[in-house]
């Protein structure tokens, strides 16, 4: 499995490195051009998935290609704590906030080079005409997001099976993508899965509002290069007791990171508490 050199502990493409010529800004930072290039990648990976050749490496490679293309489109990445991705040799449950399409495209390129991993995803995504074949090829945990009890049973059953096979799971406890982090919408499903499986949790804080939500097609929203892209991986830790304190620990990790990145104010933080 190919490992990208800069994915050791941290990565930062500074504004100096991101400076572009007028031609680069005109072409790569154009939303239409970005959308067309993104569509090409999606269609190519879809064909690979249909042929049954879209494996873990292909997933990581296509994610990394999107990563580089986002950089060309003006995206400034700050990624830290990547040593925590593989610190635990066994499978783990990655638990993150969910802000945009960007993290679902980029996380495979960061995590998959180091370990087997899949997502907990909405049923609508595996049935999507463009993304469905790709997502199904990664054998995700599929939930409906309409019946919490049923979703709980699915995650506990399929998630436990995957973890027992050494496959880590990425879960977004929020019911939907949101640029505003609301702790009350951050359920403890991921913590409960980790507890039942006896594996560690790795918290992920992210800020990805660089990639907005489209009005017609959610995945094809506007890009805003003034908003820096942040990913932070926390240290793995075990779940103890009921897991309530551990879920709060993840929430605190995310809120502290968002506040540091200017995505949440002290007033918002006080209101949420």
Cα(232)–Cα(188) distance, rounded to whole angstroms? 20
The pLDDT of residue 128 is above 50: yes
pLDDT tens-digit profile of 227-266? 999 999 999 999 999 999 999 999 999 999 999 999 865 4
The answer to whether residues 156 and 192 touch, using CB atoms and an 8 Å cutoff, is yes
Structure-model confidence comparison of residues 225 and 46, the more confident one? 46
The pLDDT of residue 94 is above 90: yes
Copy the structure tokens of residue 133.
């074949």
- Beta-bridged to residue 93, according to DSSP, are 169, 201
Instruction: Give the residue-averaged pLDDT of 188-204.
Output: 97
Question: Residue 22: its pLDDT value, please?
Answer: 47
The pLDDT of residue 5 is above 50: no
The pLDDT of residue 4 is above 70: no
Question: Residue 213: its pLDDT value, please?
Answer: 78
Tell me what percent of the residues of the chain surpass a pLDDT of 90: 67
The answer to whether residues 238 and 200 touch, using CB atoms and an 8 Å cutoff, is yes
Question: Residue 183: its pLDDT value, please?
Answer: 94
The answer to whether residues 192 and 163 touch, using CB atoms and an 8 Å cutoff, is no
* Least confidently predicted of 91-100, 124-133, 226-235: 124-133
The answer to whether residues 99 and 206 touch, using CB atoms and an 8 Å cutoff, is yes
The answer to whether residues 207 and 230 touch, using CB atoms and an 8 Å cutoff, is yes
The pLDDT of residue 19 is above 60: no
Question: Residue 32: its pLDDT value, please?
Answer: 76
Instruction: Give the residue-averaged pLDDT of 218-227.
Output: 81
Copy the structure tokens of residue 259.
């506040």
Q: Which residue has the tokens 């580089």?
A: 68
Instruction: Give the residue-averaged pLDDT of 14-37.
Output: 62
Question: Residue 79: its pLDDT value, please?
Answer: 96
**Banded pLDDT at 2 (limits 50, 70, 90):** very low
Question: Residue 153: its pLDDT value, please?
Answer: 96
């Amino acid at each position: 499995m190919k490992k990208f050199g800069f994915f050791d502990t941290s990565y930062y493409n500074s504004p100096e490195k991101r400076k572009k010529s007028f031609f680069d800004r005109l072409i790569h930072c154009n939303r239409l051009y970005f959308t067309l290039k993104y569509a090409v990648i999606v269609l190519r990976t879809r064909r690979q998935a249909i042929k049954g050749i879209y494996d873990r490496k292909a997933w990581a490679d296509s994610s990394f290609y999107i990563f580089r293309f986002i950089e060309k489109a003006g995206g400034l990445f700050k990624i830290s704590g990547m040593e925590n991705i593989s610190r635990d040799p066994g499978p783990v449950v990655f638990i993150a906030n969910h802000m945009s399409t960007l993290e679902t495209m980029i996380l495979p390129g960061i995590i998959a080079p180091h370990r087997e991993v899949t997502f907990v995803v909405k049923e609508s995504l595996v049935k999507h005409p463009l993304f469905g074949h790709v997502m199904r090829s990664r054998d995700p945990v599929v939930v409906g997001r309409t019946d919490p009890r049923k979703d709980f049973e699915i995650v506990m059953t399929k998630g436990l099976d995957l973890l027992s096979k050494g496959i880590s799971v990425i879960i977004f406890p929020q019911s939907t993508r949101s640029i505003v982090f609301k702790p009350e919408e951050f359920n403890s499903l991921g913590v409960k899965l980790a507890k039942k499986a006896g594996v560690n949790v790795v918290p992920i804080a992210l800020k990805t509002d660089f990639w907005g939500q489209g009005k017609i097609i959610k995945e094809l929203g506007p890009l805003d290069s003034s908003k820096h892209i942040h990913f932070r991986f926390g240290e793995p830790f075990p779940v103890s007791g009921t897991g309530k304190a551990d879920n709060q620990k993840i929430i605190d990790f995310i809120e502290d990171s968002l506040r540091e990145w200017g995505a949440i104010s002290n007033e918002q933080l006080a209101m949420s508490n």
